[in-house]
Structure 1
Amino acid sequence: MSETYVRQLDKIGRVVIPKEIRDELELSNQPLDVQMTGDGLKLSKTESGEEPKTLDQYGRLVIPIELRQELDWEQGKHIEMRTEKDEVQLNGQFEVCEICENNQSLIKVKTKFVCRDCLSEGNQNIVHRWGDLLDGLMSEYLHYCKQALRFEDEEDTHQARVKDRRLKALLQFIGVSEKHDIIKSLEEAHKRLGAVRERDVLIAGFKAFEEYVDEERMAEVYREVYQRVEQKRKKHQEKLEEKLPAIIDQNFQERWRYFIDEELHAYILSLSVASRLDEYEQDIANRMEDYKAVVAEHGPASQEALESMHALRIASKHIRYIYKYLDTMYEQDYQTSAKYYEQLQDQFGPVNDVKDWLKAFDKQRDKLDIKKKHAKEVKAQLEDELESRVNEVKVD
């Protein structure tokens, strides 16, 4: 049996006939005939061909476009070649690894073939990529948690919660259960951090209203509200200082190391990014339709609509994080989708803030040393602000 050679089709439909074959059949500077033979071609010298072909100085043969289209041979196609009597047989069914061109132990991945060695190496690379990403986020999370306990900069608490949300979003995307001890610890810490952060936002909001209003009596109401919230925040800071170190202790960090080193690969190797994204996109689409239906039935400022919007906001935030980090790990444009969900989420944030201010005011209202009419004026102002921000939301 003659030796087999493999060459690739270039972008203009040329393939190199190996020198060994050219010399054996004396094909150089000869008119050649190219004909189809089932799922391939045969090349032979001719004296009567209607449109004879010739090899160029590099031994390249231009395969007519109509034959390439018939055989579905595109740029990069691997062509197997061998001699048979005085002909060259070109077979396009031969497959090799897209990475190393080995023809052994091939596994089909979509429309391409990859050998087991390259697939294994590629899998390890993507596992390491995910591990580095998650480890980096965890390192940032632990740093901000430590800083948050110093209570010197409110942004530390905020960033600790942001890193926590991103970690949970990515872990749940790859299939880690909410019952996993890592997730449960992150969730517990998130609640402790949230109790402080939510009051930071409330205080900032009421202080802004205090400065904004012209009438001193209303300013006094806002001032008294945020002073009461400050007292409550102090208690939550004390609880955070007591509880957080026990949640993210050395055992938690060792458990995280075990997850990265021993468990992560199983999640990543079974992950279908496209399928998971489809699930998330469908969930977002369903939440959008639910929100639109609730708005149509109850109005945009109704409690039902605000709850539906909040659910959509959280889902948008999570998928935005996922797209953002997928864009850094895979050779595909995920940034466009990340920006879309960031814009969607940004519409909901101001509405959520005012909703929380209203809720906090109602909770403190009966405890405030103010006249009822002043309380009504403040609540009316907050409700007007909520309605104004709700009406700015556009969901397509």
Structure 2
Amino acid sequence: METLQERTETYREWKKQLKRHYRKFAGFAKEAYRYEDVEDVHQARVHCRKLLTLLKLLDPDDREELRVPLRRAFKALGKVRDSDVLIADFVQRKEDAPDGDTAEMLKRYLKLLRDRRLRYVAKLEKRLRPALRGKFRRRWDDYLNGALQEQAAAVDATAQLRRLEAKLEAKQAELRELAAQPDTSGLDLAETLHEARLIVKEIRYVTSEADFALKPLPGGALSFLPVKPLQEELGALNDSRVRLARWQDANPEALGIDPDVYRRMTDRLRGEMERRIREVSLANLDERD
């Protein structure tokens, strides 16, 4: 059982982490809607996700109603960030295009992506403001100095981490069942692996941002899973999944090009995604060191 001094120290650690990530989120977010540096969007989103992870541990039912404006901000930042990543990828593909028809097609597709990104950026300030303005900040400060103390004393972060690990193992079993079915498509597998990726990312943030509240396993590790390499593998796969899905949102008529040229690019993107699926080691976790 924790002593009063230990409870006080634990509360201070939670408060320090929450204050740090909110300060960073708010700072990057204010720069993000000016949209002068794509890294501001990325960093605002990272710290927003870390805040959401910590608050989910402390207040699973969101009784303090702090997560809703942060989730909306996270979603808006994600749309811009995904657009940034897609545009950078297709700019490189245009430069490496094997022929003029492909280069012209990608030039037109990039215009579609940039126009879409402009719409997302235009909405960014409106989506971020509720998590930055004075009303939210007052509630935030009240939470840090009030309800957080009780939540910090009550939370069992280790138990929640073990539940996340069990959830990932269940997703692993689901993947094996899907892979065994002959009619399972690459997109079906990629979507399930995307769901696994979100769990892996949550596990990683719990172990990195709430390590002070976790009981280590024998040997000192906080999780029995190889979280960082899994996250990298699944992140690369997710990029290929999103790339294919967004490409298929367009069509030859919208791009004004030969359907055969469009089909070749579709096949190339699908092949890249399927190769990423084969490279993911999630289905072989038991064989990893």
Cα 1:336/1:330, change in 2 over 3 Å: closer
Partner of 2:158: 274
Quote the residue 1:213 is aligned against.
Answer: 97
Matches within 5 A, 1:30-49: none
Residue number in structure 1 paired with 2:255: 368
Q: Which residue of 1 aligns with 2:125?
A: 241
| Higher RCO (CA-CA < 8 Å; seq separation 6+) | 2
Letter in 1 for 2:161: L
Question: CA separation of 1:203/1:225 partners in 2, compared to 1, >3 Å: closer, same or farther?
Answer: same
Take 2:175 and 2:152, find their aligned partners in 1: how far apart are those partners? 33
Post-superposition Cα deviations, 1:356-381, rounded to whole Å, max 9, x if no partner, equal 11111111223111011111111111
CA distance in 2, matches of 1:287, 1:369: 41
Higher normalized strand content (fraction of residues): 1
CA contact (8 A) 1:148 1:154 kept: yes
Q: Is the contact between residue 24 and residue 47 of structure 2 (CA under 8 Å) also seen in structure 1?
A: yes
Q: How far did residue 175 of structure 1 move? A: 3.3
The CA distance in 1 between the partners of 2:175 and 2:205, in whole Å, is 22
**225 and 179 in structure 1: CA distance in 2 versus 1, 3 angstrom threshold:** farther
Q: Find the partner of 1:353 among 219, 235, 239.
A: 239
1:310 aligns with 2:221: no
Deviations 1:89-139 (A, max 9, x none): xxxxxxxxxxxxxxxxxxxx3xxxx7xxxx112111110111011110110
> Could you tell me whether the CA contact under 8 Å between 2:211 and 2:222 is conserved in 1?
no
Question: CA, structure 1 residues 273+181, in 2 after alignment: closer, same or farther (shift >3 Å)?
Answer: closer
Could you tell me whether the CA contact under 8 Å between 2:72 and 2:127 is conserved in 1? Answer: no
The answer for unaligned runs of 5 or more in structure 1 is 1-108
Shift of residue 276 of structure 1?
Answer: 1.9
> What is the Cα-based RMSD across aligned positions, in Å?
2.1
Normalising to structure 1: TM-score of the pair? 0.66
Taking the aligned partners of 2:184 and 2:46, their CA distance within structure 1 comes to: 28
> How much identity, in percent, do the aligned residues show?
25
* 1:1-396 aligned within 5 A: 109=1, 119-178=3-62, 180-298=64-182, 302-328=186-212, 332=216, 337=223, 340-365=226-251, 366-395=253-282, 396=285
Distance 1:230 1:133 in 2: 36
1:181 is paired with a residue whose SS is coil
The structure in which a higher percent of residues are helix is: 2
Where does the alignment leave 5 or more consecutive residues of structure 2 unmatched?
none
Q: Shift of residue 335 of structure 1?
A: 5.8
Q: Report which of the two structures shows the higher radius of gyration computed on alpha carbons.
A: 1
* 304 and 339 in structure 1: CA distance in 2 versus 1, 3 angstrom threshold: closer
